[in-house]
Amino acid sequence: MEIMGADIVRAFALLGAGIAMGLGAIGPGIGEGFAAGKACEAIGRSPQEAGLLTRTMLVGQAVSESTGIYSLVVALLLLFVV
């Protein structure tokens, strides 16, 4: 079995893509769930403010999502560009 240098780069780029997206998904998943949980708690306390709370929750989750999207972009770059 002969392994070329280019193969090694490609192999590690694919492994790196998997690790990047996998670990990158942990934080946003927990963070967005935390925001959703607190929003549910708040809507339970004052149901008349449900619209405002849902909007605030979604804005907060969108910011929390950003690192997940960075991971996705890096994983796709590693998959298709490197």
Question: Rule CB under 8 A: which residues touch another protein?
Answer: 1, 3, 7-8, 10-12, 14-19, 21-41, 43-45, 47, 50, 53-54, 57-58, 61, 65, 68-69, 71-72, 75-76, 79
Nearer to another protein (CB atom), residue 3 or residue 81: 3
Q: In the Cβ-directed half-sphere of 43, how many Cα atoms lie within 13 Å?
A: 14
Nearer to another protein (CB atom), residue 22 or residue 81: 22
Nearest to 65, CA basis, from 19, 18, 33, 41: 33
Contact call for residues 18 and 76 (beta carbons, < 8 A): no
